Amino acid sequence: MDIQNPKFVCRDVRVHYGDFEALHGINIDIADRGVTAFIGPSGCGKSTFLRTFNRMNDTIEGARVSGSVTMDGQDIYDKGLDPVLLRARVGMVFQKPNPFPKSIYDNVAYGPKIHGMTSGKAEMDALVERSLRRAGLWEEVKDRLKIAGTGLSGGQQQRLVIARAIAVNPEVILMDEPASALDPIATAKLEALIQELKERYCIIIVTHSMAQAARVSDKTAFFYMGDLIEYDATEKIFTNPGDTRTQDYITGRTG
């Protein structure tokens, strides 16, 4: 599929865990704006692939990445590139909400603090408010910024984690099954938020829910057994897939 001005260009990306090859040479371009969904059965390598974009695989013992991943034309696996700076540009939201056991304010302020992004309390206050507003959480928590982030509901926690990621001004937000621990109402709120965020950020989302992929994404990639089977506009994938394996998966015959 042709994509104009791609954010990421991946060529022959392979990931090994020890002797096991989890991804067998993935080639994909990811659009600069909008939502790209990765779908596929458990163990197909979609989460592993997601973690190559912010080099979180580096933290896993025995994981090796080969091939090339470029972001805006720059190789993110370049030896001279510090993954710490990459992760400031590529934020991540995990499956299980993981706010720090600190106040809501400190959760959002943590990222800007470690990168030295603000000077003075007023600037930090403004940044915290802006991030919480963009994550759609401000109205719910503005009067209790000092309470622990872990005291919020699951859906609020997940939006707090998004606010925390937004605070460091990333260009990309990776989401690894962000709604799998949430109830339908919280999921709906989260999906609405994703729709708003895609105007500003490049969003890549891994999901087990095909309905969710169909609702929120613009493009969908189907992974199976470590291979990228099909990658196309979401509408095309869900109405007229080009591969029988994709067809079997989205109609519920496999996976």
| Structure token digits, residue 253 | 């015959």
Least separation in angstroms between residue 31's CB and another protein is 22
Does 17 contact another protein by CB under 8 A? no
| Stretch of 21-29, 95-103, 126-134, 204-212 contacting another protein, by CB under 8 A | 95-103
| Stretch of 64-72, 159-167, 221-229, 244-252 contacting another protein, by CB under 8 A | 159-167
Does 77 contact another protein by CB under 8 A? no
- Which helix (H) or strand (E) is 64 found in, with range? strand 63-71
> Residue 52 and residue 134: Cα distance in Å, rounded?
26
Q: Based on CB atoms, which residue is closest to another protein, 84 or 126?
A: 84
Least separation in angstroms between residue 153's CB and another protein is 17
On whether the CB atoms of residues 39 and 236 are closer than 8 A, the answer is no
> Residue 189 and residue 241: Cα distance in Å, rounded?
29
Q: Based on CB atoms, which residue is closest to another protein, 110 or 138?
A: 110
For residue 39, which amino acid is it?
Answer: I
Does 150 contact another protein by CB under 8 A? yes
Q: Specify which residues 68 forms β-bridges with.
A: 11
Crossing angle between the packed helical segments 184-197 and 154-166, to the nearest 10 degrees: 20
On whether the CB atoms of residues 109 and 167 are closer than 8 A, the answer is yes
Q: Based on CB atoms, which residue is closest to another protein, 26 or 175?
A: 175
Binding mask 110-149 for another protein (x = CB under 8 A): xx--xx--------------------------------x-
For residue 148, which amino acid is it?
Answer: A
Binding mask 48-67 for another protein (x = CB under 8 A): ------x-x--x-x------
Q: Specify which residues 203 forms β-bridges with.
A: 35, 173
Does 101 contact another protein by CB under 8 A? yes
Does 213 contact another protein by CB under 8 A? no
| Angle value at C-alpha 245, between 178 and 202, nearest 5 degrees | 35
Q: How many helices, marked H, and strands, marked E, lie in the chain?
A: 10, 10
Can you give the binding site for another protein, defined by CB under 8 A? 54, 56, 59, 61, 84-88, 91-92, 94, 96, 98-101, 110-111, 114-115, 148, 150, 161, 164-165, 168
